[in-house]
Amino acid sequence: MAAIPFIGRLHPYEYFALVASFLIAFLELIVRTITLLLPTPIIRIFYRLSRNAFNSLSSPYSRRARNRRKNVSSPLAQAHDFVELCEQYGYLAEEHVVQTKDGFLLGVHRLAWRRGEEDQRVNNGPASIQKKVVYLHHGLMMNSEVWVCITEKERCLPFLLVEQGYDVWLGNNRGNKYSKKSLHHGPTDTQFWNFSMDQFAFHDIPDSINYILSATHQPSLSYIGFSQGTAQAFATLSIHPALNNKVDVFVALAPAMAPPGIASGVVSSLVKSNPQVLYLLFGRRAILGSTTMWQALLYPGIFTWVIDKSLAFLFGWKMANIAPHQKLAAYPHLYSFTSTKSVVHWFQIIRNGTFQMFDDEVTSPTSFSTGSKYYKVAKFPTRNIKTPIVLVYGGSDSLVDIKIMLKELPRHTVAKCVPKYEHLDLLWASDVDTLVFPHVLEALESYALPSDTKGQALGWQTRTRPSIFDTAGVTPNGTAPPGYSEDEPARNHGMPHTPAFEYERPSTAEEQMDESDNDDDDYADDSPSSPDGPVAFTPSAFAHSSRPPISDARAADISIHNTARRTRQAPASNAGASRQRTATVTTAQPNQQDEDTIHSQTLQNSPDSTGISTSADTDRTVVRSRPEGWWSSTSSSVVSLVEPASPSIPQRIPARQG
């Protein structure tokens, strides 16, 4: 029985869930067809009825609070595109088109100018203003709008980076709102939608990065991804070794690699069943294409309620850290088109528990041979990534298993946990500017190369790029791991690290959308929209962070063996302050029974005048290292958590003898 995949994978109760999913999809098809046949006046009547019903079920206080915030959320929710969203805050956005090697045309957006800099040339030759480049990429079934549909400018990462002096680019996947064109196929053609994450990794990400570097005349950029945007970076950096020299640092927000599973029994049954079942449900073109129709027909409050309930049903998320007015502004921009095949790819990854390429040889439901003994899908070799990686994940994110993820990533990966954060909180939470952004800024300042033109960077290109590895003590007898080059010892200058903090800031967002009686006061009249025009951005808006200065950090220190010191001058802030960081990396010789060495850092820092200190209110920082012989297929890795000590007595763990 187990030899038949469609039957052997499912439990009896999962068959009921599978049948229920077909019934739900069929019911939605009937309702959608009837709705499309109705005349417009009838649809408007139903819209008014739904609005009145929603308002009647809300408390008077909730209605008043919602009306107060309507001038904030409504313009953002009704904005048609990325450029219009940026105009709400007075930023000039450029639109670019990237042609991939397989003929897809991808829309890419650029934010390079602070307010008042629009007449300046940025990264456009030696006479222009030189800025470091940052590339941001969205998640599954999203587009670049999710980064800028924020109700307070201080919580918008692209706007913050622009004000910090970066040249910000935002990419889009093929098939979504801004990339729905190909030189070979139309969007109504099934072949147009025949793509998965493999195509994102082989074409979309590397071609977008190469285009941006060519347009800005820069040798490298920094990459910030969210959700699937991180998975695409993991994949493309692992299969394109040369691309590692073009990415200074990879910051992964809500990283996704091999999710542990789906909370919903209905979706879990689809994950375990044959992929043909998903194609039968949603077709072979765009998945959930009717979402935009329901968004246009439903009253915004009801649409937001439906999204909240759907996310709770699928992933168990409570969405309590995102304010109601932020949901009203962001949910209309949450969905964008993608292929059913890309979702099938994720189901294969979840089912097999490994970050693999798409399995094209799908076993037939009537086949009696699974072929698992003779056939294996290629994995993305993520341990080969050389680019520095900083993971920022939520402590309550059901899609992230950080221990499993760290085992599949190189030893220099740094992980930072934000307690009580779920998946979407890394984008839209009410306190994202104090709990997440400091990690991002610190990673960029620590690893990003100084801005330079290509002509000036020729010397850099002829030299080996500085490595973040400290190879001493890695091998027991002086042998080098695979991929080790002769000049690696000359590249072992210590990289800046981040300390562990014990401070944890509770969430301040409203927990419910309409039942709250006093939470809306927290969002009272700091609206970005005003009669006088866009609100001016001030760096001091980020000075209210409760994070301690680096000099007071309670970091653990494990000492024995090789010590690498490096002093680095960080780029000046907007206020002209400079930061000097001294990093000490100490490595402990592992016991024979230990599987991992623990890396801990002690950093000293003088706070700058802008009030943006490094690292943030997280409960712990995970820094990962591999033991001797870590490249062996038989070795395993264990995540080590370094808890902060008391402020008066630094925590020191003696080295193990053995």
What is residue 204's DSSP assignment? I
Where are the alpha helices (H) located in 358-508, listed in sequence order? 402-407, 425-428, 432-435, 437-447, 458-462
Q: Are 613 and 605 in contact (CB under 8 A)?
A: yes
- Alpha-carbon distance 495 to 445, whole Å? 12
Q: Which of 62, 227, 545, 613 is catalytic?
A: 227
- Please list the alpha-helical segments (H only) found in 545-602: none
Q: 633 an active-site residue?
A: no
Instruction: Output the DSSP codes for 592-614.
Output: TT-S---EEEEEE-PPPTT---S
526 is catalytic: no
Helix (H) or strand (E) holding 291: helix 291-297
Quote the Cα angle for 25-28-33, to 5°. Answer: 125
Three-state SS string over 75-91 comes to HHHHCCCHHHHHHCCCC
Containing 265, the helix (H) or strand (E) segment is helix 265-272
Distance of alpha carbon 55 from alpha carbon 514, whole angstroms: 10
| Rounded CA separation 639/597 (Å) | 9
Residue type, 514: D
Listed residue (249, 234, 220, 235) closest to 468, CA to CA: 249
Choice among 423, 439, 497, 599 that is catalytic: 423
Distance CA 174, CA 166 (A): 26
Query: For strand 132-137 and strand 166-170, is the pairing parallel, antiparallel, or unpaired?
Result: parallel
Task: Check 397, 425, 596, 617 and give the catalytic one.
Answer: 397
In Å, how far are 282, 346, 521 from 291, measured between CA atoms?
12, 20, 32
Structure tokens at 596: 């991992």
Specify the residue for token string 């002690």.
602
Instruction: Specify the residue for token string 């949450």.
Output: 334
Annotated catalytic residue 167: no
How is residue 322 annotated by DSSP? S
Task: Look at phi and psi of residue 363 and say left if phi exceeds 0, alpha if psi is from -120 to 50, else beta.
Answer: beta
Report the relative pairing of strands 414-418 and 389-394 from DSSP bridges: parallel
Integer Cα distance of 173 and 195 in angstroms: 11
Under 8 Å CB-to-CB from 187, ≥6 apart: which residues? Answer: 175, 180, 181, 193, 286
H-assigned helices in 79-153:
82-87
What is the set of active-site residues? 227, 397, 423
